[in-house]
Amino acid sequence: MNATQTSWRRRLTYYFKHGDVLWWALITLSALVAVVLVLWIGWQVWVQSAESRHAFGWAFVSPWAKPAWNPALDKFQAWPAIYGSLITALIALILAVPLALGIAVFLSELAPPWLRGPLNYMVEMLAAIPSVVYGLWGIYVFLPLVVVPVGKALEPLGGLPVVGELFQGPTPASGFTRLGAALVLVIMILPTIAAVSRDVLQAIPRSQREAAMALGATRWETVWKVLLPYGQSGILGAVILGFGRAIGETMAVTMVIGNSAGGGYSILKPGYTMASIIANEFAEAVSDLHTSALMEIGLVLFVITLLLNALARWLVVNRTIKRA
Partner 1 sequence: MPTESVYAHVNLESNYRRRKILNAVMLSLTGLTVLVAVVPLVWITVYVVIKGGKYINWALFARLPAPMGAPGGGVLHAIEGTAVMVTLASVIAIPLALLGAFYLLARPNTSLAHGLRFSTDMLAGTPSIVIGLFGYAVIVVVQKHFSAFAGGIVLAIIMLPVVLRSAEEMLKLVPAEMREGALALGSPEWHAALKVVLPAAMEGIVTGVMLGIARAVGETAPLLFTALGNDNYEIGKIVRSGIRHHQSVGKILGQIFAQPADALPLTLWKYAQQPYQERVQQAWAVAFVLMLFALGINILARARLAYRRRKLYG
- Where in 186-225 is the site for partner 1 (CB under 8 A)? 187, 190-191, 194, 218-221, 223-224
Q: Is 110 in the site for partner 1 (CB under 8 A)?
A: yes
121 binds partner 1 (CB under 8 A): yes
154 vs 306 by CB, closer to partner 1? 306
Residue 134 in the binding site for partner 1 (CB under 8 A): yes
State yes or no: residue 160 binds partner 1 (CB under 8 A): no
Long-range own/partner contacts, residues 141-148 (CB < 8 A, 24 or more apart) = 142/180, 142/183, 142/184, 142/256, 143/174, 143/175, 143/176, 143/180, 143/256, 144/174, 144/175, 146/183, 147/175, 147/177, 147/179, 147/180, 147/183, 147/256, 148/173, 148/175
- Rule CB under 8 A: which of 239-258 touch partner 1? 241, 244-245, 247-251, 255
Query: Contact 293/60 with Cβ under 8 angstroms?
Result: yes
Residues 283-322 that bind partner 1 (CB under 8 A): 283, 294-295, 298, 301-302, 305-306, 308-310, 313
Q: Where are the alpha helices (DSSP H) in the chain?
A: 2-18, 20-48, 50-56, 79-105, 113-128, 131-137, 148-154, 178-202, 206-214, 219-221, 228-230, 232-248, 251-256, 274-281, 288-313
Of residues 80 and 135, the one with the C-beta less far from partner 1:
135
Q: Which of 85, 36, 40, 58 is nearest to 296 (CA)?
A: 58
Least distance to partner 1 from the beta carbon of 168, Å? 26
* Sole window of 62-70, 104-112, 162-170, 206-214 interacting with partner 1 (rule: CB under 8 A): 104-112
Q: Is 61 in the site for partner 1 (CB under 8 A)?
A: no
Among 56-64, 106-114, 164-172, 203-211, which window interacts with partner 1 (CB under 8 A)?
106-114
Tell the smallest beta-carbon distance from residue 70 to partner 1 (Å).
Answer: 21
Q: Within a 13 Å sphere around the CA of 115, how many CA atoms are in the beta-carbon half?
A: 8
Q: How far is the CB of 84 from partner 1 (least distance, A)?
A: 14
Q: Is 136 in the site for partner 1 (CB under 8 A)?
A: yes
